[in-house]
Structure 1
Amino acid sequence: MDIYHETHGKGDCRPLVLIHGALSGIGTSFGTILPSLAKTRRVIAVELQAHCHTPDVDRPLTVEHFAADVVELLDRLDVGRADVFGWSMGAAVALRLGTHHADRVGRLVLASVSFDEDGLHPGLLDGIQDLQPEHLHGSEFHEEYLRTAPDPAGWATLVTKMKVLDANLPRWTPDQVRTLAAPTMIVLGDADIVQPEHAVHMFRLLGGAVPGDLTGLPACRLAILPGTTHTTIPQRADWLAPMIDEFLTESNPDH
Structure 2
Amino acid sequence: MEPDTTGYADVNGLHLYYETYGEGPPLVLLHAGMMTIEASFAPLIPALAQRFRVIGVEAQGHGRTANIDRPITYVNLAADVVALLDHLGIDAAHVMGHSTGAGTVLELITAHGDRVLRAVPLSGSVRADGMVDFSEPGAFERYADKLPTEADLAAMREGYERLSPHPERFDEFFAYMSTSDAGFAGWTDEQLAGVTASTLIVQGDNDFATNEHAALMKTLIPGSQLLILPGTTHMGVPRRVDLLLPALESFLG
RMSD value, Cα: 2.0
Aligned match of 1:233: 237
Work out which of the residue numbers 10, 16, 24 in structure 2 matches 1:3. 16
Matches of 2:194 and 2:49, distance apart in 1:
30
Aligned match of 1:183: 198
Q: Which runs of 5+ in 1 are unaligned?
A: 129-134, 208-218, 250-255
Q: Tell whether the 8 Å contact from 1:99 to 1:180 is kept in structure 2 after alignment.
A: yes
Show the 5 A alignment for 1:96-245. 96-123=107-134, 139-207=154-222, 219-245=223-249
Q: Tell whether the 8 Å contact from 1:124 to 1:193 is kept in structure 2 after alignment.
A: no
Look up the SS of the partner of 1:166 in the other structure. Answer: coil
Task: Compare relative contact order (CA 8 Å, sep 6+) and give the higher one, 1 or 2.
Answer: 1
Aligned match of 1:247: 251
Look up the SS of the partner of 2:209 in the other structure. Answer: coil
Aligned match of 1:45: 56
**CA pair 136-63 structure 1, distance change in 2 beyond 3 A:** farther
Greater strand share, structure number: 2
What code does the residue aligned with 2:244 have? L
Moved more, 172-181 or 89-98: 172-181
Q: Tell whether the 8 Å contact from 1:21 to 1:29 is kept in structure 2 after alignment.
A: yes
What code does the residue aligned with 1:231 have? M
**CA pair 31-78 structure 1, distance change in 2 beyond 3 A:** same
Matches of 2:153 and 2:220, distance apart in 1:
40
Aligned match of 1:76: 87
**CA pair 49-120 structure 1, distance change in 2 beyond 3 A:** same
Q: Tell whether the 8 Å contact from 1:21 to 1:88 is kept in structure 2 after alignment.
A: yes
Matches of 2:220 and 2:181, distance apart in 1:
25
Matches of 1:32 and 1:73, distance apart in 2:
24
Show the 5 A alignment for 1:54-65. 54-65=65-76
Matches of 2:185 and 2:107, distance apart in 1:
9
Matches of 2:137 and 2:23, distance apart in 1:
44
Q: Tell whether the 8 Å contact from 2:73 to 2:181 is kept in structure 1 after alignment.
A: no
Q: Which runs of 5+ in 2 are unaligned?
A: 1-13, 140-149
Deviation at 1:127, TM superposition (A): 8.9
Look up the SS of the partner of 1:226 in the other structure. Answer: strand
Deviation readout 1:191-224 (Å, 9 max, x if unpaired): 00110011111111223xxxxxxxxxxx421100
Aligned match of 2:40: 29
Matches of 1:236 and 1:38, distance apart in 2:
17
What code does the residue aligned with 1:46 have? V
Using the aligned pairs only, state the percent identity. Answer: 41
Deviation at 1:160, TM superposition (A): 3.2
Look up the SS of the partner of 1:86 in the other structure. Answer: strand
